[in-house]
Amino acid sequence: MSSIFDSPIFETVLSMILVCAMLSLLVSSLTELINSYFNERGKQLYNTISKLFDDNVNINFGQLIYNHPMVTNLRKDNKTYPQYISDAMFSQVMIEVVSNFAREYKYDEEKKSIVMQVAKDANGLPVHEDLFTRFKAGVEKMEHTSIKLLLLNMADKATSMAKGDSSTSEIASLEKQLKQWYNDQMDRMTGWYKEVIKKKLLIVGFIVAIVLNVNAIHVFQTIYRNPQLRSELTAISERVAENYEKVKSDTSLTDLQKETKAMQMSKIISIKKDSTQLSEIKDALGQMQKLDTAFNKIISKVMKLDSIDKIHDSLRRIKLAEDFKNTYDRIDEIEALGLPIGWKLNEPPLCWLATKDTANKKFLHRILINNVFINRDSLITKLKSDHIDKYFINYVKPSFWNWVFYLIGICITAFSVSMGAPFWFDLLLKFVNIRKAGKKPLTTTND
């Protein structure tokens, strides 16, 4: 007797989770591609650091650190912000920027230029001012705001800590506090960044649902009513879940990399037969992949140069090329599933726009099947004669409810895929494990 875990409904749900997982991976790859192109992480980091010092009154030291040579060297080009600034670099650069603000400059009548003033003792010899003292002087020079108080208190704490612990200098204590403050803010930034990404995933989710024409309701119905497709998808689901379980614990990989690797290991493209449903979209991405090739050529040249800056730049290009390739591969895999997705003249919603007027040869007025124009009624007759499920015959007919369900289906797809690939892959793994655990073990006659 078959258990509930072998039932068509369970297998359909499992297959739907696989479809959502694959689509959400595509959406994540696309979002990553967009973020790489627009240097979103770098911008978010810049905005976060800017906000740390934004009191509307004082000079924004957070923005000024981007002019510091140490940070400037991290820029890939003059239009890109660094994606990452370590806490050590932040604290060091910040102390220098504030300290420099304390320096005094005077116009020298003899030299006819502005020159830096050096403190001198009674004998006219230069007095060494340590960095910590100058940092405090820089903070004291600021207008009175909460940011000034914050920095002043950090400096005071550093003094107290150094007094209590002779092995720690004031500047080291100050650096420690600045690092702590920065890291706390970076944690918050990660939260903000996730919020931004969520919104983007939803927008990209809608774009993918529309461009690929993925009506979740129709996909569900098709899988449910097609036992062969269902069993194939169930088998793929198990394979993907198995591979995902293998890579899930690998801490060296990001979430997106884990899911991508699981898909690569599952070799879906070689299992399933070719389909041309998404060929046009693939072609478009193929054009983009040419850029990927161009990137790789540049990378190979750039990597030969012994320059950290150039290597950073090439790494960014590798990342962008990788994102292109990932997106392309995800489309390939979705295509290989043989699902009722993509835009075709003999499928909804385009076939709903066809008229009964066979004399009218205008585009979209009749349906093209196997390079022969037939009208919609002929299609329905053909489907009936082929003993196709009544659902599919009704689905081809234009009706108010078909349109409503189509739009709902697109929305469901967009919202589902915007939940992110990790959610769907974890769910897939759980469902496959439940199925495995729930299945009655096979018994042999010898037993």
Q: Is 106 in the site for another protein (CB under 8 A)?
A: yes
Residue placing its CB nearer to another protein in the complex, 40 or 170: 40
* 225 CB-contact burial (10 Å; exposed 0-12 / middle 13-18 / buried 19+): middle
Please tell me the count of residues contacting another protein according to CB under 8 A.
Answer: 28
CB-based contacts of 393: which residues, under 8 Å, 6+ apart?
380, 383, 384
Q: Is 38 in the site for another protein (CB under 8 A)?
A: yes
CB 440 within 8 A of CB 3: yes
Phi/psi at 440 (5° precision): -70, 125
Among 232, 271, 270, 266, which Cα is nearest to 246's?
A: 266
Selected from 1, 4, 9, 116, the binder of another protein by CB under 8 A is: 116
CB 312 within 8 A of CB 76: yes
Nearest approach, Cβ of 103 to another protein (angstroms)? Answer: 9
Q: Is 105 in the site for another protein (CB under 8 A)?
A: yes
DSSP 8-state class, residue 39 = T
Selected from 5, 8, 13, 47, the binder of another protein by CB under 8 A is: 47
End-to-end CA distance of the chain: 18
CA angle centred on 268, ends 262 and 272, rounded to 5°: 165
Distance CA 345, CA 369 (A): 8
Residue placing its CB nearer to another protein in the complex, 54 or 389: 54
Residue placing its CB nearer to another protein in the complex, 288 or 364: 288
Select from 107-115, 206-214, 407-415, 439-447 the region that touches another protein (CB under 8 A).
107-115
Select from 77-85, 242-250, 382-390, 423-431 the region that touches another protein (CB under 8 A).
77-85
Among 223, 238, 211, which Cα is nearest to 9's?
A: 223
Q: Is 346 in the site for another protein (CB under 8 A)?
A: no
Selected from 37, 84, 192, 391, the binder of another protein by CB under 8 A is: 37
Q: Which amino acid is residue 380, in one-letter code? A: I
Q: Is 345 in the site for another protein (CB under 8 A)?
A: no
Selected from 143, 156, 274, 357, the binder of another protein by CB under 8 A is: 143
Selected from 10, 13, 51, 298, the binder of another protein by CB under 8 A is: 51
Residue placing its CB nearer to another protein in the complex, 158 or 299: 299
Torsion of CA 107, 110, 111, 116, to 10 degrees: -40
Nearest approach, Cβ of 323 to another protein (angstroms)? Answer: 13
Q: Is 2 in the site for another protein (CB under 8 A)?
A: no
CB 409 within 8 A of CB 215: yes
Select from 4-12, 45-53, 128-136, 236-244 the region that touches another protein (CB under 8 A).
45-53
Phi/psi at 372 (5° precision): -120, 130
Scan for tokens 């899988």, then name that residue. 223
Q: Is 110 in the site for another protein (CB under 8 A)?
A: no
Q: Is 358 in the site for another protein (CB under 8 A)?
A: no
Distance CA 284, CA 266 (A): 25
Select from 59-67, 190-198, 202-210, 247-255 the region that touches another protein (CB under 8 A).
59-67
Q: Is 58 in the site for another protein (CB under 8 A)?
A: yes
Nearest approach, Cβ of 203 to another protein (angstroms)? Answer: 12
Residue placing its CB nearer to another protein in the complex, 50 or 185: 50
Residue placing its CB nearer to another protein in the complex, 63 or 168: 63
Structure token digits, residue 418: 């915007």
Selected from 107, 363, 400, 401, the binder of another protein by CB under 8 A is: 107
Q: Is 73 in the site for another protein (CB under 8 A)?
A: no
Among 165, 170, 33, 27, which Cα is nearest to 95's?
A: 170
* 339 CB-contact burial (10 Å; exposed 0-12 / middle 13-18 / buried 19+): buried
Q: Is 277 in the site for another protein (CB under 8 A)?
A: no
Helix or strand run (H / E) with residue 113: strand 113-116
Selected from 5, 6, 50, 202, the binder of another protein by CB under 8 A is: 50
Structure token digits, residue 244: 């995902």
Nearest approach, Cβ of 92 to another protein (angstroms)? Answer: 19
Distance CA 66, CA 408 (A): 47
Q: By CB under 8 A, name the binding residues for another protein.
A: 37-38, 47, 50-51, 54, 56-60, 63-64, 66-67, 72, 75, 77-79, 101, 105-107, 113-114, 116, 143
